[in-house]
Chain A
Amino acid sequence: MDKSKIRNFSIIAHIDHGKSTLADRMLEETQSVALRDMENQILDNMELERERGITIKAHAVTLGYTAKSGEEYIFNLIDTPGHVDFNYEVSRSLAACEGAVLVVDSSQGIEAQTLANTYLAIDAGLEILPVLNKIDLPSADPERVVHEIEDIIGIPAEDAPRISAKTGLNIGEVMERIVTDIPAPAGDDNKPLQALIFDSYYDAYKGVIVYVRIKEGKVKSGDTIKMMATGAEFDVVECGYMQATSLLPKNELCAGEVGYITASIKDVRLTQVGDTVTLAENPATEPLAGYRAVQQMVFCGIYPADGAHYSDLRDALEKLQLNDASLTYEAETSIALGFGFRCGFLGLLHMEIIQERLEREYNLDLVTTAPSVVYHIRLTNGEELSIDNPTNYPDPTLIAGAEEPIADAHIYSPAEYVGNIMELCQERRGTFITMDYLDTDRVDIHYHLPLNEIIYDFFDALKSRSRGYASFDYELKGYVQSKLEKLDIMINGEVVDALSFIVHAEKAYPRARKMVEKLKENIPRQLFEIPIQACIGGKIIARETVKALRKDVLAKCYGGDITRKKKLLEKQKEGKKRMRQIGSVEVPQEAFMSVLKLDE
């Protein structure tokens, strides 16, 4: 393969700015997918990805493109995940490329996410090719957006292709610019193999399919490969190109190429994103730079709504983990919720995605507990603990000090919502850093926010206070000293472990107040009065009461219609199944879920 004819690139865009639509047009342009197989946004093949319009997993596809000059090119399009939770994955995908197509909605301009990923791409030394999308919209203002790109990102954008991915306008220009603007890969086929893993997924027949970019050397079937970080060795069964709807086996993959390797690998955790694949004989002396072990930032308990489905939940998590090495889970038991799992996620969106996939793809009804970040606790005896579960929170008298994680956050918003947003950030214990006007109307608000304030419902609150216009991006900055407390909830005098959480001392009272109010709203009246109390270390700081039920009777029985009564009874019993028994109180699933959204 002539390396000068290869172009490796990714597409960077904010949600809804048209990344996947552009990718679809490229597939069409290169006739990589038969028209009859063409489904909108073919690269986002998870149902959830199509629905949310975001890319959750990286995808890659090799396209054959005949340039206007008549020369044949190989395009490797690597579609990156589009969210901060997957920043590291994005950085590895970008490291597999020489260039990035930056898609900006010409009516909306640059958003927080775009900028974050563009900086990642610039840091990785990628050539940026800006493209203005949606110029067919009446509200398009490409000139303004050109200036935005030039001012904020600092790259020339005057001659950026003005396209409509939706209608297909000027897609050809983008294709030509990829040829002329994005450099061909370098690399030496004769050096020891260094292949960067940028994704992998599990196939029931072939085992793990590892997506790689060959940086140096080459690999072919029969080679014994070695993962440099995990040390695992495998014999290559097959390698080749990823096509839009299938895999195309090849004899070998050479430096500069993007493709897949299969080697009967059973565990996706042995093929970590960012790791370097080399050959067991004649290995590379150094791995490629930039590898990082996965680190979970957010944890929560996940329980089946019906305890009988525990093993289904376990099987589902097992299956999800086959394709997602960044998800962790371990069995835990709650007095209130029974058997379930403590799960670790890269971030909030990752958590939501896993929950949604469990519910939709595996048809599970779930109860989740409040998400928690990882706190650092120093004990009086000098011991240091990392706590991500309120259940493991030590006795306060043994604690010498505590630290909580802080996020470096940027919020992009139209100027009119600045007041609302700053108020929200102050409420969430944010520290104001700077505010920059991107243009006359758009503002970049920079805050340091405690991560535990973000993980509850910050995103929802931000959306509602900016009418959906604000975008938000954060990364972990580090840990700071903090005053923390563990808050417990008692229902009818019994502590409900699943409702305990760790909170900043300042926020304990308002949180407690809202929690008991939400619980009161969501716990139905029962045969007796139920006190709901919030307490810290045995001291009650908030209380509400669910009054006793007064009337629940079917007074009349009509013409011997026993069935109606039976149905009512069945319904009541069915409802009872979905209830959690806390002592003699029945607590519905919704009550557990309601405390996760306190800002409503």
Chain B
Amino acid sequence: MIYIHVPFCDSKCPYCDFFSLPADESKIDEYAKAVTAQMEEYKSGNIEAQTVYFGGGTPSIIGAKRLAELLKGASQVFRVSETAEITVEVNPTFVDYPFFRALREAGVNRISMGMQSAIDSELKRLGRRHSKADVESAVRAAQRTGFENISLDIMLGLPDSSTESLNESIGFAASLGIQHISSYMLKLEENTPFYGMNLNLPDDEGTAEQYLFCVEELGKQGFGQYEISNFSKPGFESRHNLIYWHDEEYLGFGPSAHSFYKGRRFYCPRDMSAFLRGEKIDDGEGGSFEEFVMLGLRLSEGITRKSCEARFANGGTLYDTLLERSEALIHGTKNPQRMFTADKNRICLTPEGFLLSNTIISKLLP
């Protein structure tokens, strides 16, 4: 599990607060060298990588050749297995058949594309430079080169959106014969242009309605929900993301990339020069039961007694305590079955519960 953050974008979307910089050629070279060098520090670790994930930013903007080189660099340090899931996030703009073909040849086997919406007016509003047609041709190109594991992003709660417009985006995505959909609710982040803008956003009730509609509609189209914001055809759950939710370890490279390695969490600052200097910020110990629950309850499968026992020496007791608190919450809350279920084997949230997961999780943890 290797994450490589590619912090370059063609332009900055007004809602996005991820770390990114203009795609300047010399900067990209410097960056790529540093990633390779920093990976090499782990050479002696004999680390096996079940997944490699290029996230951004816009990884596609640095071109297939550089992505292939970075992947090659990773393979020389880590034992990237034959069956590894290797994902590249792409923007539907400026990707074509040769690009995907080059990625495939390099060993990439999964594409995650930032579609966001299939309504052109919504895309424009989001500051995206692509259209619905661009998405279609990009997906087709990827499929023609042999990609059989493609994910699309869809955003919920957009300005001027409704369940009807959402329905259109979902229908369009499903019609493309893809395997995975990530469906995120738009969140206004401070320090983004959207923050404080007078946008005609649906209220919490409206966004909640869209979310529940999305879960239901995707289900009908054969995309099962496996995490708060992730849906897939059976067997196409993102293995890389599951590593996060299962509270397992991973290494991240690039500015703002986070790692969890040998029990410690640490990250590189959101700053290119700090990254080039190899700066790391310690973020404390990882892997506590609290963390395990906080992440595990994001999954549809929830937390099981078995997973607790497998992970923690006193897992059974920990599970029982959690169960007790769950039952107390269920008891004190009107009609809670709507939100989550808890029995001696499993505690898990329903889609209604996912919508309130922050509150519920904070109540379940002491």
User: Residues 531-562 of chain A: 1 if any B CB is under 8 Å from the residue's CB, otherwise 0?
Assistant: 00000000000000000011111111111111
CB of B339 within 8 Å of the partner chain: yes
CB of A251 within 8 Å of the partner chain: no
B294 x A566 contact (CB < 8 A):
yes
CB of B365 within 8 Å of the partner chain: yes
CB of B358 within 8 Å of the partner chain: yes
A residues near B207, Cβ cutoff 8 Å:
551
CB of A529 within 8 Å of the partner chain: yes
User: Residues 290-315 of chain B: 1 if any A CB is under 8 Å from the residue's CB, otherwise 0?
Assistant: 11001100100000000000000000
A584 x B258 contact (CB < 8 A):
no
Chain A contacts with B in 551-587, Cβ cutoff 8 A: 551-563, 565-566, 568-569, 572-573, 576, 583-584
A565 x B294 contact (CB < 8 A):
yes
B residues near A559, Cβ cutoff 8 Å:
3, 5, 18, 55, 252, 256-258
Report if A528-B244 is in contact (Cβ < 8 Å); known contacts: A560-B252, A560-B258, A576-B362: no
> Which 10 pairs show the lowest CB-CB distances between chains A and B?
A584-B332, A572-B362, A560-B258, A528-B334, A551-B204, A550-B204, A552-B358, A555-B185, A550-B208, A555-B184
In whole Å, how far is A154's beta carbon from the nearest beta carbon of chain B?
62
CB of A41 within 8 Å of the partner chain: no
In whole Å, how far is B115's beta carbon from the nearest beta carbon of chain A?
15
CB of B133 within 8 Å of the partner chain: no
Residues in chain A within 8 A of chain B (CB atoms): 526-529, 549-563, 565-566, 568-569, 572-573, 576, 583-584
CB of B83 within 8 Å of the partner chain: no
A583 x B260 contact (CB < 8 A):
no
Complex alpha-carbon distance, A569 and B295, angstroms:
11
Report if A551-B208 is in contact (Cβ < 8 Å); known contacts: A527-B360, A559-B258, A560-B258: yes
A residues near B187, Cβ cutoff 8 Å:
554-556
Among the interface residues B259, B265, B283, B359, which one has the most CB atoms of the partner chain A within 10 A? B359
A-B contact number at CB 8 A: 104
A residues near B360, Cβ cutoff 8 Å:
527
Report if A562-B244 is in contact (Cβ < 8 Å); known contacts: A569-B361, A573-B362, A573-B365: yes
A549 x B359 contact (CB < 8 A):
yes
CB of B333 within 8 Å of the partner chain: yes
A residues near B265, Cβ cutoff 8 Å:
562-563
CB of B356 within 8 Å of the partner chain: yes
Chain B contacts with A in 238-257, Cβ cutoff 8 A: 241, 244, 250, 252, 256-257
B residues near A568, Cβ cutoff 8 Å:
358
Complex alpha-carbon distance, A569 and B228, angstroms:
16
Complex alpha-carbon distance, A569 and B366, angstroms:
11
Provide a sorted-by-A list of 28 A–B residue pairs whose CB atoms are within 8 angstroms: A527-B333, A527-B359, A549-B359, A550-B355, A550-B356, A551-B208, A552-B356, A553-B228, A553-B355, A555-B184, A555-B228, A555-B229, A556-B187, A556-B229, A557-B241, A558-B18, A559-B18, A560-B252, A560-B260, A561-B258, A562-B286, A563-B258, A563-B284, A565-B295, A568-B358, A569-B290, A572-B362, A576-B363
B residues near A583, Cβ cutoff 8 Å:
332
Complex alpha-carbon distance, A474 and B171, angstroms:
74
CB of B336 within 8 Å of the partner chain: yes
B residues near A553, Cβ cutoff 8 Å:
185, 228, 354-358
Among the interface residues A550, A556, A558, A568, which one has the most CB atoms of the partner chain B within 10 A? A550
Q: Which of B244, B339, B355 contacts A551 (CB 8 A)?
A: B355
User: Residues 319-339 of chain B: 1 if any A CB is under 8 Å from the residue's CB, otherwise 0?
Assistant: 000000000000011111001
CB of B41 within 8 Å of the partner chain: no
In whole Å, how far is B157's beta carbon from the nearest beta carbon of chain A?
9
Complex alpha-carbon distance, A557 and B228, angstroms:
10
Number of B residues, CB within 8 Å of A: 50
In whole Å, how far is A133's beta carbon from the nearest beta carbon of chain B?
49
Complex alpha-carbon distance, A554 and B336, angstroms:
20
Complex alpha-carbon distance, A296 and B298, angstroms:
57
For residue A581, which residue of chain B has the nearest CB? Answer: B332
A residues near B291, Cβ cutoff 8 Å:
562, 566
A561 x B365 contact (CB < 8 A):
no
CB of B267 within 8 Å of the partner chain: yes
Report if A563-B359 is in contact (Cβ < 8 Å); known contacts: A553-B185, A569-B294: no
In whole Å, how far is B58's beta carbon from the nearest beta carbon of chain A?
14
Complex alpha-carbon distance, A556 and B365, angstroms:
21
Q: Which of A527, A550, A557, A569 contacts B244 (CB 8 A)?
A: A557
B205 x A562 contact (CB < 8 A):
no
Chain B contacts with A in 159-185, Cβ cutoff 8 A: 184-185
User: Residues 41-72 of chain B: 1 if any A CB is under 8 Å from the residue's CB, otherwise 0?
Assistant: 00000000000000100000000000000000
For residue A575, which residue of chain B has the nearest CB? Answer: B362
A residues near B250, Cβ cutoff 8 Å:
560
Report if A572-B258 is in contact (Cβ < 8 Å); known contacts: A553-B185, A556-B187, A583-B332: no
In whole Å, how far is A497's beta carbon from the nearest beta carbon of chain B?
20
A residues near B361, Cβ cutoff 8 Å:
569
In whole Å, how far is B54's beta carbon from the nearest beta carbon of chain A?
11
For residue B4, which residue of chain A has the nearest CB? Answer: A559
In whole Å, how far is B363's beta carbon from the nearest beta carbon of chain A?
8
- Besides the known contacts A551-B207, A559-B55, A559-B258, 15 further A-B residue pairs in the complex with CB atoms under 8 A apart: A527-B356, A527-B359, A528-B334, A550-B355, A552-B357, A553-B228, A556-B184, A559-B3, A559-B256, A565-B295, A566-B294, A569-B294, A569-B358, A569-B362, A573-B365
Complex alpha-carbon distance, A183 and B258, angstroms:
82
Complex alpha-carbon distance, A555 and B15, angstroms:
14
Among the interface residues A551, A555, A559, A576, which one has the most CB atoms of the partner chain B within 10 A? A559
Chain B contacts with A in 1-16, Cβ cutoff 8 A: 3, 5
For residue A558, which residue of chain B has the nearest CB? Answer: B18
Complex alpha-carbon distance, A354 and B355, angstroms:
44
For residue B336, which residue of chain A has the nearest CB? Answer: A527
User: Residues 266-299 of chain B: 1 if any A CB is under 8 Å from the residue's CB, otherwise 0?
Assistant: 0100000000000000011010001100110010
A residues near B204, Cβ cutoff 8 Å:
550-551
In whole Å, how far is A56's beta carbon from the nearest beta carbon of chain B?
42
B259 x A560 contact (CB < 8 A):
yes
B259 x A526 contact (CB < 8 A):
no
Complex alpha-carbon distance, A212 and B18, angstroms:
71
In whole Å, how far is B21's beta carbon from the nearest beta carbon of chain A?
15
